[in-house]
Amino acid sequence: MKKFIETLKNIWKIEELRKRLLTTLLFVLVYRFGSFVVLPGIDPAALTGLRAQTEGGLLALLDMFSGGAFSNASIFALGIMPYISASIVIQLLTIAVPYFQKMQREGESGRRKMNQITRYLTVFILLIQGPSYLVNLNVQMAQAGGMMPTDWWFKISSTIILCAGSMFVMWLGERITDKGIGNGISFIILIGIIARLPGALVREFTSRLGDMGGGLVMFLAEIVFLLVVIGLSIMLVQGTRKIPVQYAKRIVGNKQYGGVRQYIPLKVNAANVMPIIFAQAIMFIPITLVGFSHSESAAGFISAFMDNTGFWYNFVFALLIIAFTYFYTAIIINPTQMAEDLKRNNGFIPGVKPGKKTAEYIDTIMSRITLPGSIFLAIVAILPAFASLLGISHEFAQFFGGTSLLILVGVVLDTLQQIESHLLMRHYDGLLKSGRIKGRHGLSAY
């Protein structure tokens, strides 16, 4: 405890780190405040139907990612997911469309162009989701005995407000990335998840002592199981496979003199939580296609993909996670570039020829460790469905693995790694006794 207090004092002493933490806190407070600002013309007392609709199913997940803004009919109701969906489309286009491939190779200028296109696509998605959300809101308020304005001016102005709210949330995320600590977009999602955890925990405890039965023993068993899953998630995020590399100090002809051996740490899950976020954004598409108001009465295969505890939803969700893990790993890890860098620095992998053979070797290793990593990631992601089958309440079950827990673990570790880096650069002790926290890229803070 004394060491922890001393570490907090050290964090406060570093002016840049203090400013970043305070800036992040300010943006988080703005986001949480906006989640409770109701759309103009909507009576907050008449939202009981909307809140009941988001207590279970896919809409409960959507409400969690928006930090409760969806069920509050807030100006931030559509949240950050439209921006993530647009980002997925643009990243997929960089593989298939030469125009986007060219922009990707242009460096910083190309990145700015792609970000601008992503924003335009986000607005387009919001213009589809906004009216759909208002139709659902009207239906739910009518069932609760309330009313909302039905004139065209209200629909147009509310759609514009919803679009502006989501774009503002996106802007907050970008500002957190630039001026604060951690990845802003992931941090925004993390805040929404954390905001739901205390209430879910209290309700599960109350229900175990009351109607659901099982008592305190069952509740403690759930907590132990939750801690085990958190431990597995941390192992999944931090797991690495080290490849030995020999660096030669001097090369004369074909002979190498001296040298030092180091290791290339390749992560079992190099993509971190991005496959989870991308796959979850894809699974929200059926709601957009059929409209929020028809989600409960949708027929056929569409209805199957709206039940996040059903077989087909979790089967497709797991396949998408595996596919996106490979896709995102291919974007992050470039074996050819790594092989060229090794050759340029007089490095080689023992027993493997430099150049093309080294690139093929690294690619083979990545393929072998990505497969079990992606499968494990998919299993952890669908654990909430099994938790629900075991009688755990739907709201609390979302924290037994799934998107929420993996995002929480990944983003927290990444944020701690950045704080650790600031401390160690200024010769302060880190947050842990070992002084090392593995972050998004699997490297230590040193």
Full set of structural domains in the chain with CATH:
2-425 (1.10.3370.10)
Note the pLDDT of residue 211: 66
CB atoms within 10 A of CB 255: 8
* Cβ contact 82:62 at 8 Å: no
Residue 163 has pLDDT above 90, yes or no: yes
Nearest to 73 by CA among 137, 131, 123: 137
**How far is it, in rounded angstroms, from Cα 24 to Cα 169?**
13
Per-residue pLDDT band for 164 (boundaries 50, 70, 90) equals very high
Asked if 169 contacts 80 with a C-beta cutoff of 8 angstroms, the reply is yes
Q: What is the pTM of this model?
A: 0.76
> Average pLDDT in the 421-426 region?
75
Whether the per-residue pLDDT at 435 is higher than 50: the answer is: no
Round to whole Å and give the CA distance between 302 and 293. 14
> pLDDT digits over 96-113, tens only?
788 888 887 787 888 888
Per DSSP, the three-state class of 250 is strand
Does 172 score more than 50 pLDDT? Answer: yes
Q: Which residues, in sequence order, are CB contacts of 128 under 8 Å at separation 6+?
A: 288
